[in-house]
Amino acid sequence: MNARTHALDSVVFGVDIQSGDIRGDAPSYALVILDDGSVTRDVVSYRKLLRLIDSTEPALIGTDNAYELAEDKGALVQLLRSLPSSTKLVQVTGAERPEPLSRVASRHGVPYDKKPMREAEAAARLAAMGVGHEVAAFTNTTTVKVSRGRSTGKGGWSQDRYTRRIHGNVRKRAREVESKLDDASLAYEMDVTEKYGGYSNAVFTVEATPDELPVSANRSGDTRIEIERECLDGIEYRPLVQRRDRVIVGIDPGTTTGVAIVSLDGRVLETYSSRTADTAAVTEWIIEHGRPVIVAADVYPMPETVEKFRRSFDAAGWNPNSDIPVDEKLHRTREESYENDHERDAMAAALYAFDDHAEQFDRITDKTPPAFDREEVIAKVVAGEHSVETALNALSDDDDTTEEDTSQPEPKRTPEQKRIAALEQQVDRLSGHVETLKAKLDERDETIESYKEQLTEAKRKERREARERREVTRLKREIDRLERERDDAETRADELDAKLERLKRLWKLDHSDFSDIAEGRNLVSVKIIEQFTKGAIADAEEAYGLATGDVIYLRDASGAGRSTAQRLVDVDPRIVLRDGGLSDIASELLFEADIPVAPAEEVTIQEVDELAVAREDEIQAAIAGWQERAAEREREKSANMVDQIISEHRADGRSG
């Protein structure tokens, strides 16, 4: 069957290079647009041509050479990828070895001239007539990928929740796409990658082009959808008009013309009716849908209009002995669909013509060897009035040794004898047809019963699967809940493990299990802060906690400001041992808070793993030393204050 788009129903572009070269700079193109009978001509740049194709979405783009639009195969694939999915690029001069455009145009009666604009117009008209090959790089299979729209990143418990949410949204979006594809009755395969909390991606391989899909590429929040057509292994050239089957055509002429196409096995293929189409348009529609073997009418004698169609196709004619009654037409077409009475009458004519020739078709089929095309043999016997043997000889591949038909001509019969023989054949055919219909009716009843049983079984299966789906959904929800509880428990266990480690460290410090160190001596734990900074204080707090009365060792006491010193004052340690000098502001704040500060060298500090201990008597001695220094500092401060008061008093006396 021919599936090409009619030039009157769609836009067709014809393109030929006007100047320059696609491999050079800024080529220009002669462009001819055929749209509903109108012709538009223009000279455009390559970019403007692509914009026009994208905005107009023509059904066909005709050219004499596809490589006038692309410099190589890779560029041609990219061009085909950028075309709307409903647009076909057609090389009207053939496939890999194209003919000259002048020869193709002459063969099909299309005006031709060497000028680029006339070549572009010839290419457009040839493409509209179904001449040439489609240049294809993609199949009709499209991949739809639903995936994460954000990176899950790294992190702890909150990051786990974030990751689970993203994967859950991907799964939800994938199910929405799956539902839309099911609603559109599209065939597809689904491949899912499951991850923590849902899907990391879901890939649908759909038997459809992108414009047939109920979804589009987009990115929204946690998810994104990507759509890509499946590529062929290389560039393919497909005939624009496929082989058309031999058919029976029924025609009902009049103000509204009705046409029906029936296959040689009695199936109704297409129907058509129009009040405005002329003979040429009807002829073109018939050509698109098949090659007529028989042209039939539903009245006697055959109308002149139908006879013209028969002669134009060089087909056999058929009409009834008298006009077919309406009730018989209704009965013969009761199982078919049609839009109006004209299509019904044309369909009835074609079906009755098939009934009249069915046995002849069967006899021809029985005599036709498998190596020959059954339809071509039928066409030569019925329309060409050949015998089967002559038809087979005409279709034989051996053109040099065609056998002659040796059958003797039949004696000439009178019109009455021909009429009687025809009626006898018709009675035999009708009797056989009645028996065939009875057998088909019995077979149909059996088929209906079989379908009823299948429907009942399918309903039972659907109910069972629905119950299973509900149970699976419930179990998945239960699994998600248990996974959340497990994650919460693991997080809590980690927190308790960390707390237990801190408690173990403190227990070590408070118990005399260090026989290699203690040897009966009274020890006290020392908590080390690497630097006198807020970050180092926070790290020590996180590692083993800081509490009032602790002995703190500042491994590097330099550089602290007021806020850092105040942070240490808030801890209220028993004593601060230091390496390096304190800043003035830190020293003053600790002194005012009555927190002893002593050089670390005054105390013997021994580190055990990540902990440290010191002798209690040395700590007490360091505190006593600081107290003496503090008392001396207070005395000096008081003396300085008295000296200042006396100086100020004397200054006031001299001034008086």
What secondary structure does DSSP assign to 137-180, as a single string?
Answer: EEEEEEEEEEEESS-----SHHHHHHHHHHHHHHHHHHHHHHHH
The reported pTM is 0.38
Could you give the angle at the alpha carbon of 246 between the alpha carbons of 293 and 243, nearest 5°? 140
- How does strand 257-263 pair with strand 268-274? antiparallel
Instruction: Measure Cα distances from 477 to 179, 433, 471, 473 in Å.
Output: 20, 63, 10, 6
Amino acid type, 497? D
Two structure tokens written together for 376: 């071509």
For the record, the structure tokens of 418 come out as 């021909």
The DSSP letter of residue 538 is H
87 vs 60: CA distance, rounded Å: 6
Peptide bond into 253 cis (omega under 30): no
**CATH fold match for the domains 11-131 and 246-397:** yes
DSSP string, 343-364: HHHHHHHHHHHHHHHHHHHHHH
Which residues of the chain are modeled with pLDDT < 70? Answer: 1-9, 153-159, 241-244, 370-371, 385, 396-433, 436, 502-521, 608-610, 653-656
Q: Which residue has the tokens 């066909």?
A: 60
Give the position of tokens 């002893």: 596
Q: Which amino acid is at 202?
A: A
Give residue 432's pLDDT. Answer: 61
- 402, 431, 445, 470, 547 from 438: Cα distances, Å: 44, 11, 11, 48, 103
Closest CA to 241 of 88, 354, 40: 88
E-state strands within 216-314? 218-220, 223-239, 246-252, 257-263, 268-274, 291-296
CA–CA separation, 429 and 424 (whole Å): 9
Q: Which residues pair with 636 in a beta bridge?
A: none
Cα(124)–Cα(90) distance, integer angstroms:
9
Going from the C-alpha of 648 to that of each of 477, 499, 642, 654, 656, the distances in angstroms are 85, 60, 10, 10, 13
Minimal CA–CA distance to 176: which of 210, 218, 113?
218
Q: Could you tell me if residue 629 is left (phi over 0), alpha (psi between -120 and 50 degrees) or otherwise beta?
A: alpha
- For domain 140-239, give its CATH number from 3.40.50, 3.30.1330, 2.40.50, 3.30.70: 3.30.70
The rounded distance, in Å, linking the Cα atoms of 421 and 424 is: 5
For residue 223, give both structure tokens: 């998810």
Model pLDDT, residue 414: 66
* Residue 508: predicted pLDDT: 60
Nearest to 127 by CA among 241, 282, 3, 242: 241
Q: Retrieve residue 228's tokens.
A: 């890509």
Q: Is 85 helix (H, G, I), strand (E, B) or coil?
A: coil
Q: How far apart are CA 622 and CA 598, in angstroms?
A: 6
Question: Minimal CA–CA distance to 346: which of 279, 258, 420, 232?
Answer: 258
β-bridge partners, 190? 204
Dig out the tokens for 158 from the structure: 């909150």
The first and second tokens of residue 651, run together, are 């200054």
Length of the chain: 656
CA angle 15, 17, 20 (to 5 degrees): 155
Query: Cα–Cα distances in Å, from 175 out to 179, 182, 190, 469?
Result: 6, 10, 11, 14
Report phi then psi at 269, rounded to 5.
-95, -45
Q: How many Cβ atoms are within 10 Å of 389's Cβ, its own excluded?
A: 15
Q: What is the pLDDT of residue 441?
A: 84
Question: What integer pLDDT is reported at residue 424 of this predicted model?
Answer: 64
> Under CATH, which number does the domain 11-131 receive?
3.30.420
Predicted local confidence at residue 235, as pLDDT: 85
Residues 6+ apart with CB under 8 A from 343: 252, 258, 259, 260, 271, 272, 273
What pLDDT score does 119 carry?
Answer: 94
Determine which helix (DSSP H) or strand (DSSP E) holds 432, and give its type and residue range. Answer: helix 415-510
CATH number of the 246-397 domain: 3.30.420.110
In whole angstroms, what is the distance from residue 586 CA to residue 591 CA?
8
Domain positions in the chain: 11-131, 140-239, 246-397, 433-504, 523-642
Question: What does DSSP assign to residue 315?
Answer: -
How far apart are the C-alpha atoms of 588 and 615, rounded to whole Å? 27
